[in-house]
Structure 1
């Protein structure tokens, strides 16, 4: 759906707050009530922003809100210049809005190959995936209360995304038990979350399938090399500038970053 004047103004306000690093104490306009309204704001912001999108984060909508919002997932863009590859094992500095909202999340990352226009299901969508890696999504918004007003508000500001850390690849991922893989998450060396992907609806490939469907509905093509940050595994862990986050997948794949203030 095309953005209204008010929705375009919301998009402009979020872009200005992000660019000027200005905290928002209240939502800059009429809060979206539906995911369609949220994506209209998001699409307007992406067009105004102008940077290439290198991936998409997928987040979960709480079960008690799924009927109201027409589904159990939401998405937001991850811009290419905010995707950091840590194949060498370093822990990059990832900027966040220290006076807004900031969190870090352990996630499995899927890289699309050629998607095309074919129809997919949960099994066949694996054929569209070229690589699987471990990683950390950085969630941050100038609006500190972004997650307190429902998923449409969260989605309206880039899905509350501020970057992606690409960690080690999962070898032989087609035969690996991704769903049963144990994941631990620590901040400043203290473990604060542990889980498997059994808690993630239909898992990371369900996130990829959702993304194909929602982006097609919005008229957005998925280019080869596009990343999917498939959803928080151990939780959404709020973090402050100066802290260090580390995720350990299957007891052997480590990915970390420090968080800095914009």
Structure 2
């Protein structure tokens, strides 16, 4: 039986998967394969694993990453986006010096250019459907940022969205940059980013490369969060998707992302000694 074979885990199996991921994260250790060798059979089961892992993790959620699911996986799992928690100790404020980010030696690590939305007011916990205009009304701030994707499981992206959702959405933190003023008056096509790893350009893109733009990702987070019993709260940060792509990075490497209005964010990775 392969690690990509799906199954419907019992509550004890979900807890075992969640504990394997959280123990590895806590220790800064790599996993040799998906815990138990078999994936949950649906996104719903994967979110149940994620919820079990959140219950085990000692830190406060300060936001959510939203990632795309592309074809053919989107049709297979019935969704084109996914979400995972961002925890307080893994939220960094960008500064003039490169932000130091721990990564899992032997695991997965990547840098992603992102536009980040700060929620301006609590969302209605009972509301599970929004128009783009209604979602935009909850924007309290629009920032530039870098999502540091990361997992103890090196093959997490290759295994697909069910594996990604199971391990905190493959999130290892968020570097929050400055607020981007005047974004409302600008077409998405003009909000351009470029990512460099070790000084080499590895990807370019604009906010228009996110289907429906960043507000569509916010709408997804609002609707999915409410359905999960995790409505968005004022101050939550929503990382809306990888604008230039997902760019692998290893311990000791440096990355830089350029954003509109002359903003730049720099980071450098280092081996993780433990997540707590």
User: Does the pair score TM above 0.5?
Assistant: yes
Residues in 2 aligned to 1:260 and 1:6: alpha-carbon distance in whole angstroms: 33
Residues in 2 aligned to 1:250 and 1:214: alpha-carbon distance in whole angstroms: 29
1:9/1:230 CA distance change after superposition, 3 Å = same
TM-score when scaled to structure 1? 0.95
Contact in 2 for aligned 1:126/1:205 (Cα 8 Å): yes
Q: Which runs of 4+ in 1 moved over 3 A?
A: none
| C-alpha distance after superposition, 1:183-216 (max 9, x if no partner) | 1100121111111122211111100000011111
- 1:97 maps to which residue? 104
| C-alpha distance after superposition, 1:10-42 (max 9, x if no partner) | 000101111112211111123112110110000
| C-alpha distance after superposition, 1:75-127 (max 9, x if no partner) | 110101110012x4332101110210010000000001114325521122111
Counting only pairs closer than 5 Å after superposition, residues 27-106 of structure 1 correspond to structure 2 as: 27-29=34-36, 30-86=38-94, 88-106=95-113
- 1:191 maps to which residue? 201
Q: Where do 5+ consecutive residues of structure 2 fail to align?
A: 1-8
Contact in 2 for aligned 1:66/1:72 (Cα 8 Å): yes
Residues in 1 aligned to 2:133 and 2:72: alpha-carbon distance in whole angstroms: 27
- 1:162 maps to which residue? 172
Query: Are 1:108 and 2:118 an aligned pair?
Result: no
| C-alpha distance after superposition, 1:201-260 (max 9, x if no partner) | 111110000001111111012121000010001100000111111111126111111111
TM-score when scaled to structure 2? 0.90
Q: Where do 5+ consecutive residues of structure 1 fail to align?
A: none
Query: Are 1:215 and 2:222 an aligned pair?
Result: no
Contact in 2 for aligned 1:3/1:44 (Cα 8 Å): no
Residues in 1 aligned to 2:223 and 2:240: alpha-carbon distance in whole angstroms: 14
13-22 vs 229-238, which moves further: 13-22
Residues in 1 aligned to 2:15 and 2:51: alpha-carbon distance in whole angstroms: 9
Residues in 2 aligned to 1:136 and 1:71: alpha-carbon distance in whole angstroms: 24
- 2:264 maps to which residue? 254
SS in 2 for 1:111: strand
Counting only pairs closer than 5 Å after superposition, residues 18-29 of structure 1 correspond to structure 2 as: 18-29=25-36
Shift of 1:3: 6.6
Aligned-pair Cα RMSD in Å: 1.6
| C-alpha distance after superposition, 1:133-178 (max 9, x if no partner) | 1010001111111111110111100011111001121012222333
